[in-house]
Structure 1
Amino acid sequence: MSEYSKKIFRDNLQGLDAYTRHKLFMRDYVNFYGNNGQPSNVETKTEFDILKENHNWEQRVAKKYYDKLFREYCIAELKYYKEGRIALRWRIEKEVITGKGQFICASTKCSNTSELKSWEVNFAYMEDGEKKNALVKIRLCPKCSNKLNYSKQHSEIKTEKEVNLEEKEIEQETRHEKRKREDYESSNSDKKKKRESTSERSKKEREGNSEDIESQKLESVDNNPDDLSERGKIEDFDEFFTGLFV
């Protein structure tokens, strides 16, 4: 297949979500390998469809995708989860094609498709008379995830996108906390400076008032004794107001 044709194929995949790509590959798989060789009906032909008719590269892509999926995920029977008994099995062809256990909850009694999480489980199985073990993924909705982890907490498998998103959120939260701390320290520093400035200004005013009072006292102590009492009240108010307007 030419590089140009491969580019067309890749371009057609860009922008598609995971489930849409899955359905596209599974349609190709069924067309080329399944349904007793009978292709599915296609209402309209696009440039992508025409290229598929003349080349077998997409066939190999679909087959490789299917083969990888066949042992990538498993199905679970969670009926006896409270007893710590979780039964696992490989998916059958129909389940692989429909996305059961990948885009649909892997519990045999559940068909939820939202908020699925991937968990790593140790799957013990028999093959050719030999006992084998494999670490496989199991995709479950929140309710079924709680059942799986009822007796034993399994490791959650996160996509690179989820990991990057979490790291980004942590980084943003760290920057936010740093800004809050800096703003708090700056605010406290400004308040402290303002308090010191107000206190210094009040002190100078009191000293100035005291000097004026002493001066006036010398000049008018014999002329108007009532003024001393009034000025004393004003000084008391100045002290009372100190700190209220910071």
Structure 2
Amino acid sequence: MSTSNQSTDSPEEPRTSGVYVYGIVPADMEAEEDAVGVCDGPVTIVKHGGIAALVSEISVDRPLGKPEDLQAHAHLLDGTSRVAPVLPLRFGAVMTDEESVEKELLAAHADEFAAALQELEGRAQYVVKGRYVEQAILREVIDESEQAAQLLGAIRDQPEESTRDARMALGEIVSNAIVAKRDADTGKVLEALDSLSDSVNVREPTHEEEAAQVAVLVEVARQEELEKAVGELAEQWDGRVDMSLLGPLAAYDFVVTQKSEG
């Protein structure tokens, strides 16, 4: 029986490192000297023809998924989107080595990646978010619903245990009203952004008081126009909805490629 697998120079020793792939970029892009990725690994570029992959070496023994890993992944891609088109890979894309990145990822999907990068040239993702001001939206619902106003009057200054049913009924009315208002207000956001982008993705709400969350693909050169449009909405909804604009970001909502398996 062979025991060579215990030898220090055995060719069967398990590999301890892999190559983490962040995204696909044009081949003429250069990585910043101080750019770091997951585990603070230095970022390099693997090229194939006119496309390339942003990568860093990673230990395969270290599990991924810590908050700082996700932040490093997003930080690198979002920073890249400010200077070049980038096709983000899903978090956790690890391949065997740089040769496999070139042959199995870049060469295998060269035409697809090149076409997608061409579509993204000069554009980046932005996310427009709105969140209802709690007291303002509650007043609005009460003012618009006689039933809600009656229920509020019935429970005011009364013990919680004796008004549980009324409180639940009021909560349901408010919740349903916010859903309807969210739909209407999201429509107003889409209308405001219509001239700036034909690529939009309405995201599912992440909070019960969310008024809107819309991802848009916009020319980076038109960022000031986008900021103005969001600013006008914020002014229109002052005291009712708090508006925010995130970006430029990598185009996660529009062109995220599938996770590669190492």
TM-score for the superposition, normalised by structure 1:
0.21
Kindly name which structure, 1 or 2, has the bigger radius of gyration based on alpha carbons.
1
Of structures 1 and 2, the one scoring higher in RCO (CA 8 A, sep 6+) is: 2
TM-score by length of 2: 0.20
**Which protein is richer in helix relative to its size?**
1
